Amino acid sequence: METIDVLRIIWFFLIGLLLVGYSILDGFDLGIGSLFPLLAKNQDDKRKLFKSIGPFWDGNEVWLLTGGGALFAAFPHAYATVFSGFYLAFMILLFALIFRAVSIEFWYHDEERRRFWEWAFVIGSFLPSVLFGVALGNVIIGIPLNENFDFVGNFFTLLRPYPLILGILGLLMILLQGISYSILKTDGELKERSYRIARKIWIIFIIIFIISFIATLIWMPENLTKLLAWFFVALSLLFWILYGISLNKKKDGFCFLFSSLLFVSLWGIVGSIHFPYLVRANNVPEYSLTIYNASSSLLTLKVMFIIALIGMPFVIGYTIYVYNVFKGRD
Amino acid sequence: MSATLLSRIQFGLAAGFHFLFPPTTFGLTLLILIFEILHLKKKEEIYLKISNFLIKILGIVFVLGVASGIVLEFAFGNNWSNYSRMVGDIFGAPLAAEGVFAFFLESVFLGVLIFGRNKVSKKFFLLSAFLVFFASHLSGFWIIVANSWMQTPMGFKIEGGRAVLTNFFEAVMNKSTLIRYIHTIIAGWITGSLLVAGISAYYLLKERGREYAKILLRTSLIIFIITSIIQLFTGHFHSVQVSKTQPEKMAAYEALWETQSFAPFSIFAIPDEKNEKNILYIGIPGLLSFLIDFNPEYEVKGLKDFPSDERPPVILPFYSYHIMIYLGIYFILLSLVGIFLFLKKKIYDTKWYLKILLYSIPLPYFANEFGWIAAEVGRQPWAVYKVLKTKDAISPSVSAPQVLFSLIMLSLIYLFLLIIFIYLIKKIVKKGIEGISYEGY
């Protein structure tokens, strides 16, 4: 294999890694946001929930920004196709993320408009939680492209059944991640409520997971033969079961751990059925973007790899350190 | 309106709004670092409270920077997909590097600044303040790298219609990176220090928390005085660089139509772009040539020497550039008066001067925005100078009505956020430093 192909595969994996980091970390605060109306019954609950994610949410969001930057640098065509193709959907996502970004800080300072900022936080969390899955579903099942790799569908192309199913699956995964964080970080009545909600999400999750599984095999039967995908499906089921056991035994740390591992396994399934594609074209297969025809040059991939090798260990190191500083409940 | 023009307006709005916040962050993080050092050394409560106060303001500035920054991170894919395809090989790397090296660091340790005072040691808190300062400035560096590469692209070759990286170091340290970076950082320090000096002046005028306000005014005004004077020189060298690397941009800045030795430095003009002349022109003969080359005989190229489809517009860059310069001169005058009042030991009681400081808070923001408009409009018609024209950089799959919709939405959202932002900053200021509580949330 040529060096450039090795680097292309590495970058497919590294961008996956950034998305995994984003999912696990921002997943929990998006989840808290989406569940906010169910979780918080009084002012004190709200304060606790905001405080639990306060020091972290912006650092978590950087995983998305860096993922975007890395996609731009490593696979510029994929970055260009996806973000221009899903333009309106993406704008709605951005508006949601803008409001969400300011809502937590503004809620604290702007007492007159607290209700408004709460809803900005809830909607700003809920919409992205669904839209990420919808976008992923579109990329996996394919969108109509032309020879310049530009999207030629319309807004409703994006709202086909398969992407919507993945949107709901993504939402449930994020909710599970959020509720597990709430269990870990709260106490008293709020924590008991979190246990009850977690149980419901845990059950609904597996139903949607099975529907997604069947839908994937119906629309893309070629995946039946992908062993790696089967491995990650098995792993997902294992972590789902372990989550249920941990929840019953009230092992809070394990709940969060298995929820995170479940999230990783889902990404494992996505990676193994999608590789080496970045964006499938469902009209003309040759227009599909793969890691081979959408990547940057050898030099750029090399430079970026060095940047990642130098930078990311530090990022992971100090992120873990600072999470430890804020460990526990208060 | 065409999708190209709408996309340009939208990008201008998104970047212009974003550019209110990072310069403030540069100044604020510098001041916070100074007060944290003072606190650790002198162990006095007063520095702690001042620092907590500034951290509160930084918190609000930062979230708006993040919120508006998300839009920009994806804007190239959203509205400029051809740009992304053509130059992504080079342009994406600094954006990714910014995330990996700087933005993670800044966000994670800002969390410590806002929430961790009672959870970490004093030294670790100081280290966090330093890391937030360092990372925000490093973040600015990578963004300036990306922008500078659009102005003076280097370290690449064209292959199959795409720009392909040949030398990463050259692309990063291209001919305008360093001076643009210094100029922008100093602008940020001017912005942040005048914001804080204006706030302290407000307290002195209202006779509230005088002890705090005196320290805050002294520190911030010293920074303002030093930086506003330095900016004269960085501005000069930046302009010299522009005249050497993008001569048509300098010609537009100066509304200079004819190529000439003894080229004048314009004081005021009304350019007439259609007829390629100035309706009114007042300038200092020979000064432009002298400033560029220390030689009044130096020949400066006029706009007519460039093909008409490769010339920037004149009016907008001309006025933006001149307003920026005049504001810079105003800041220097303000500084000189400040030095005089310091020496006379009257600075805390000269009400008219304190009032001027207070009402001058918005002016550096105007200087920043106009400087940026001059630089970017002066780069037109190119997205990447001499490589890719702006009209060829758009997203073919995005229609004008779609951009119009997002532009209207974004304008409304940003207007709303700006109003809330100013309201909240005022609210925090009115609460005062003396009564500040450090509680996280």
Is A230's Cβ below 8 Å from some Cβ in B? no
CA distance B362 to B291: 29
User: For the residues of A96-119, what is the DSSP string, one character each?
Assistant: HHHHHHHHHHHHHH-GGGHHHHHH
Q: What is the pLDDT of residues B11-35, one digit of tens each?
A: 999 999 999 999 999 999 999 999 9
Residue A308 has pLDDT above 80, yes or no: yes
Residue A329 has pLDDT above 90, yes or no: no
Mean of the pLDDT values across residues B97-110?
A: 92
B441 pLDDT band (50/70/90 cuts)?
very low
The Cα of A33 is separated from the nearest Cα of chain B by a number of Å equal to 16
Short-list B179, B12, B89, CA closest to B388: B89
CA distance A223 to A270: 11
> Whole-prediction pTM value?
0.93
Q: What is the largest CA-CA distance in chain B?
A: 68
Q: A281: which strand partners? A: A143
Residue B338 has pLDDT above 50, yes or no: yes
- Sign of the C-alpha dihedral, residues A251, A252, A253, A256? positive
Task: Name the more confident of A175 and A329.
Answer: A175
The CA distances from residue B322 to A145, B12, B318, in Å, are 47, 20, 6
Cβ partners under 8 Å of residue B324, min gap 6: B367, B370, B371, B374
Q: Which of B109, B120, B164, B397 to mutate to test the interface with A (most CBs of A within 10 A)?
A: B397
Task: Give buried/exposed letters for A98-125 (b at 16+ CB in 10 A, else e).
Answer: bbbbbbbbbbbbbeeeeeebbebbbbbb
Residue B38 has pLDDT above 60, yes or no: yes
DSSP state of B378: T
Q: B92 vs A72: CB contact, 8 Å cut-off?
A: yes
Of A51, A90, A98, the CB nearest to B440: A51
B440 pLDDT band (50/70/90 cuts)?
low
Chain A partners of B105 at a C-beta cutoff of 8 Å? Answer: 314-315, 318
Q: Taking each helix axis as running N to C, give the angle between helix A252-274 and helix A114-141, from 0 to 180 degrees, rounded to the nearest 10.
A: 40
Residue B196 has pLDDT above 80, yes or no: yes
Asked if residues B382 and B261 have their Cβ atoms less than 8 Å apart, the reply is: no
Residue A109 has pLDDT above 90, yes or no: no
Mean of the pLDDT values across residues B143-155?
A: 95
Mean of the pLDDT values across residues B149-171?
A: 93
Asked if residues B88 and A299 have their Cβ atoms less than 8 Å apart, the reply is: no
Burial class (CB in 10 A: 0-12, 13-18, 19+), B309: exposed
Residue B220 has pLDDT above 50, yes or no: yes
B157 by DSSP, 3-state: which? strand
Q: Which of A4, A19, A44, A58 to mutate to test the interface with B (most CBs of B within 10 A)?
A: A58
B1 pLDDT band (50/70/90 cuts)?
confident
Q: A82 vs B77: CB contact, 8 Å cut-off?
A: yes
Residue A328 has pLDDT above 90, yes or no: no
Q: What type of residue sits at position A81? A: T
Residue A51 has pLDDT above 80, yes or no: yes
Tell me how crowded residue A214 is: count the other CB atoms within 10 A of its CB: 11
Token duo for residue A89: 């959907």
Residue A299 has pLDDT above 70, yes or no: yes
The fraction of chain A above a pLDDT of 90, given in percent, is 81
- What does the pLDDT read at residue A191? 92
CA distance A282 to A136: 14
DSSP state of B271: E
Q: B111 vs A326: CB contact, 8 Å cut-off?
A: yes
Q: What is the pLDDT of residues A245-292, one digit of tens each?
A: 999 999 999 999 999 999 999 999 999 999 999 999 999 999 999 999
CA distance B224 to B173: 28
Q: What is the pLDDT of residues B376-412, one digit of tens each?
A: 999 999 999 999 999 999 999 899 999 999 999 999 9
Distance, C-alpha A305 to centroid of its chain: 23
Token duo for residue B383: 């997205």
Q: Which of B18, B90, B108, B123 to mutate to test the interface with A (most CBs of A within 10 A)?
A: B108
Q: Which residue of A has its CA nearest to B92?
A: A73
**Residue appearing with tokens 């001058």:** B360
Chain A partners of B108 at a C-beta cutoff of 8 Å? Answer: 59, 318-319, 322
User: Model ipTM?
Assistant: 0.90
Q: What is the pLDDT of residues A110-146, one digit of tens each?
A: 888 899 999 999 999 999 999 999 999 999 999 999 9
Torsion of CA B102, B104, B109, B110, to 10 degrees: 90
Q: What is the pLDDT of residues B265-323, one digit of tens each?
A: 999 999 998 888 888 899 898 888 988 988 888 988 999 999 989 999 999 999 999 99
Q: B63 vs A58: CB contact, 8 Å cut-off?
A: yes
A 279-298 residues with CB < 8 A to B: 296-297
Asked if residues A255 and A243 have their Cβ atoms less than 8 Å apart, the reply is: yes
Q: What is the pLDDT of residues A142-194, one digit of tens each?
A: 999 999 899 998 888 999 999 999 999 999 999 999 999 999 999 889 999 99
Cβ partners under 8 Å of residue A316, min gap 6: none
Q: What is the pLDDT of residues A200-257, one digit of tens each?
A: 999 999 999 999 999 999 999 998 999 999 999 999 999 999 999 999 999 999 999 9
- What does the pLDDT read at residue B45? 87
Mean pLDDT of chain B: 93
The fraction of chain B above a pLDDT of 90, given in percent, is 82
